[in-house]
Chains A and B, each alone.
Chain A
Amino acid sequence: MPETSYAVLGVFETPDALMKAIPKVRASKLGTVEAYTPYAIHGIEEALGLRKSPLGGMVLVMGVLGAITALGFQYWISAIDYPIITGGKGAGSWEAFIPIMFEVTVLFATFTAGLGMLFLLNKLPFFGHPVLSSKSIKGITRDRYVLALEAESEAFDSAAAARALQAAGAIEVEALPAPDRSPFLTSDNILRALGGIFAACVVAGLAMYFATKWFPLLAPMKYMQDQPRLNAQKASTFFKDGHGMQQPVAGTVARGHLPTATGTQEEAASLVNPLPRTREVFATGRKVYTNRCEVCHGAVGNGVGSLTAAYGAKPANLQAQQFRDYPDGKIYWAIVNGKNSMPSHAPYLSEPERWAVVHYVRALQRAQNAKDEDLKVATR
């Protein structure tokens, strides 16, 4: 038998035997009496003289606290910190907060009931408890009923305790030595750790909240207004003239803004055909010319169209030197504004179509006045 004992266990076979033994063992006054059973036995609290569980009060307090927390939190957020008017109700209308208040109340109360019972009242987890390493523990969690006489002081007489238990009807007696070291993983330490984590969460949350309120422009929060770019009317060190804003390159055409022919034909002479000379553009020009121009100006642009005799006017011979010398812009101006008897074709042709016709007219002029090198290209 070791020098110091933790307790002496006496094993009983039925709950009746246990209940009969409790008053006898308590009367021996050898130490604190504790019972170990596979399930809760009614009436054992009175027999052992235990105080009522304070859990009900704890749960009530925490439940009320949960309700107040939920109401306060929601009210502060919805009415003070970030007011949202929903359905025309006042920011402080609290009726909609009730469902969440109820849930938070239940949540607080449940955690108090469950974790409070485990950690606070029962001091679990307790992996190093001597009873857990006893021989009797297998019976305790199965179908045996155990009474323990626990040592209250150094003067505990384990032999006398064993005799008292046997006298009360124990079928087996087991003495438990005191544990030689205190375990680290106890409910107190776990509670401290949980409390620490909770406090850290609260502190981190508050710190984050106030940080965003007080220092809204700290890195890494980049705002779009801070990006590197040139603002209008600002100087630049990049360009030689020191201006942030530069003139566009000559001949630049803004997107969707092909040049238009306004003013006189002479003024339009400077307009540049924006379309490239591609197969598609020439195809468009040919189609438009055939549909709209050919009746007067003729298939090759020489002014001999099918309408001439009945029409009475004399359409321009585009093959004439005068028109071959025309800049593109003047032809374009004529298409847009009309000339002599020719009406404006602007309502019928889109911008790209007008310029495509200009290209096609140029092609007709070249075809009627081909040079030697053109022949080489054609026969290559």
Chain B
Amino acid sequence: MKLDAATSAGDIPEGLVEPSLYVGKVTPGSLDDQVLAFPETRPPRQWYIALAITLTAALVGVVSIGYTFYIGIGAWGNTSPVFWAFDIINFVFWVGIGHAGTLISAILFLFRKRWRNAIARFAEAMTIFAVICAVIFPLIHVGRPWLAYWLFPYPNQRALWTNFRSPLLWDVFAVNTYFSVSLMFWYLGLIPDIASMRDRTTSKLRKLIYTVLAMGWRGAATHWQHYEKAYLLLAGLATGLVLSVHSVVSFDFATSVVPGWHMTIFPPYFVAGAIFAGFAMVVMVLVVVRETMQLKNLITMRHLDVMNKVILAMSCIMGYSYMMEGFTAWYSMNEFLHHGFMNIITGTYGWAGWVTISCNILIPQILWFRKARTSYFWMILVAVGVTIGMWFERFVIIVISLHQDFLPSAWRIYKPTMVDFGVLLGTFGIFFTLVLLFARVLPVIATTEVKAILPDAQPSHHGDDHHA
């Protein structure tokens, strides 16, 4: 299997179940030295430059959000009838980005896909950061975010309760559960690695921090037994959860009667889109991580190749979904639905519809070629395209469906303001700031999991029945 120069140059050790999960000779000790030594050394200059850029972007977001609080939601472009615009677009977009992490860490774990081990940690971290970016939007779009706790059912002074039949309240539960579960999944996976860092470090402060975070993990067999069981259970639970979260997000739309929203295809369509966008973001970040952090032997071209295959598969599902939207509009003979669909391809915002279709369906088709799947140029092009395309897909769903629905007298054009763009830019800044900080303080690769798939990592005297 000749994927790139690094792969073919390395000697693939015998006895490895899946070839090219890593390149060259990797032992548990050398793995620790390579991955865990990262946070212990001073970051390079490029890291500071990157951090300065992302922090600037985050600052733009903070200022924009502050301005929004000062002025009110009028600072945004939201108007009648487009009451939902950038806030919900960005919310759905960021929740979607998060889904790749859970998919890689949970679903691929259940399927015993060992290639996930090297990239799961980063993907999970990105999930946490993406969900943090996502929750900003429901929080600030309520207009008075200091009263956002009203969303929670608690025994309040006014003896009121929330309406449990509102999909927006389901969102509150779904996103909060998703964040809690992702955080726990991520932290549990980190504990043995943090214990390794605790035992490696010479700095007193680091020792203290890692000691507290590792909770006294000592790798006892009795602990590993419960730990493995817990990890398996969490993976199973997270799998159900990841499918439910974006389905619930899609209910915000699908349970209404707005033409273009009121569709049964929405839950699976949203989940596929989320995985699609998330994988694109993971590929983008992993390429940078792989190049700048000298992890080429652990994050191989094969990883990127497989990720790109998933993106391609999701792209095809998205294409099918778009076709089904058109088919439903035609076959249902619903005048309003038909008008809504024609709006996507020929209306005022028709360009957004075509950006979506080109970026999500046409460009990723290049990934049918192995050369493209293993070429930085093409995979970055596709990943950036998918990120843009998926953002515009949410724009199409929300703005195009809302700006012209049943009542022509209420139709109006929506225009975002600079504040809208500022908040969007800000969340990208926050996301990448967190990614950069994570890369400097915690192991970016789950060393414990990778150690377990190294040759000779598992005892051989039991025979072959223990090898998957």
Q: Tell me the A residues contacting B by CB distance below 8 Å.
A: 14-16, 18-20, 34-45, 48, 50, 53, 55-56, 59, 73-74, 77-78, 81-82, 84, 86-87, 89, 96-97, 99-100, 102-104, 106-107, 109-111, 113-118, 121-122, 124-129, 131-132, 137-138, 140-143, 205-206, 208-209, 212-213, 216, 221
Contacts and interface: CB of A to CB of B under 8 A. Distances in A.
B157 A38 contact: no
B291 to A, nearest CB: 27
Interface in B425-467: 448-449, 451-452, 456-462, 466
18 contacts: A15-B456, A39-B451, A40-B228, A41-B459, A55-B226, A77-B161, A99-B244, A103-B244, A103-B248, A106-B177, A110-B181, A111-B180, A114-B185, A116-B230, A117-B230, A141-B195, A142-B29, A208-B157
A266 to B, nearest CB: 57
Given A103-B174, A110-B180, A36 B155 contact: no
Contacts of A113: 230, 233-234, 237
A16 B460 contact: yes
A102 B219 contact: no
Nearest to A116: B230
Closest 8 CB pairs of A and B: A209-B155, A143-B28, A117-B230, A125-B215, A35-B221, A126-B216, A19-B459, A53-B229
Contacts of A126: 215-216, 218
Given A110-B185, A111-B184, 9 more contacts: A19-B459, A36-B218, A42-B462, A84-B163, A106-B177, A110-B237, A140-B218, A141-B196, A141-B200
A30 B433 CA distance: 54
B145 interface: no
Nearest to B235: A113
A213 B452 CA distance: 58
A38 B458 CA distance: 11
Contact of A43 (B159, B222, B452, B462): B462
Interface in B226-256: 226-230, 233-234, 237-238, 240-241, 244, 248, 251
B154 interface: yes
A96 B164 contact: yes
Contacts of A114: 184-185, 187-188, 230, 234
B169 interface: yes
Contacts of A121: 226
A73 B163 CA distance: 12
Contacts of B173: 99-100, 103-104
Given A131-B218, A205-B155, A208-B155, A39 B452 contact: yes
B221 A37 contact: yes
Nearest to B456: A14
A199 to B, nearest CB: 16
Nearest to A40: B224
B217 A124 contact: yes
Contacts, number: 231
Contacts of B460: 16
A206 B155 contact: yes
Contacts of A43: 459, 462, 466
A36 B223 CA distance: 9
Nearest to A43: B462
A366 to B, nearest CB: 55
A148 B80 CA distance: 71
B211 A86 contact: no
Contact of B163 (A86, A122, A216): A86
Interface string B196-223: 1011100000000001100111111111
A57 to B, nearest CB: 11
Contacts of B225: 40, 44-45, 50, 53
Nearest to B158: A212
Contacts of B227: 40, 117, 122
B310 to A, nearest CB: 24
Nearest to B196: A141
B451 A38 contact: yes
Contacts of B218: 36, 126, 129, 131-132, 137, 140
Contact of A42 (B166, B212, B458): B458
Specify which of A14, A44, A116, A117 lies most central, judged by the most chain B CB atoms within 10 Å of its CB. A117
Given A16-B459, A40-B452, A100-B169, A142 B32 contact: yes
A128 B34 CA distance: 29
B192 interface: yes
Contacts of B198: 141
B165 interface: yes
Given A19-B461, A99-B170, A125-B216, A212 B157 contact: yes
Interface in B73-95: none
B416 interface: no
B229 A141 contact: no
Contacts of A37: 219, 221, 224
A15 B159 contact: no
B460 to A, nearest CB: 6
B177 A34 contact: no
B10 interface: no
A142 B216 contact: no
B263 to A, nearest CB: 18
B417 interface: no
B185 to A, nearest CB: 8
Contacts of A40: 224-225, 227-228, 452
Nearest to A104: B173
B160 interface: yes
A131 B195 CA distance: 13
A81 B156 CA distance: 13
Nearest to A137: B199
Contact of A118 (B153, B192, B215, B251): B215
A206 B154 CA distance: 10
Contacts of A59: 233, 237
Nearest to B223: A122
Given A141-B199, A212-B155, A100 B164 contact: yes
Contacts of B219: 36-39, 140-141
Nearest to B467: A42
B220 A99 contact: no
Contacts of B181: 106-107, 110
B27 interface: yes
A213 B217 CA distance: 48
Given A106-B237, A142-B28, A124 B458 contact: no
Nearest to A210: B155
Nearest to A207: B155
A315 B164 CA distance: 79
A73 B184 CA distance: 25
Contacts of B156: 208, 212
A124 B215 contact: yes
Contacts of A115: 184
Contacts of A100: 164, 169-170, 173
B217 A78 contact: no
A48 B221 contact: yes
A104 B170 CA distance: 11
Nearest to B159: A212
B233 A55 contact: yes
Contacts of A14: 456
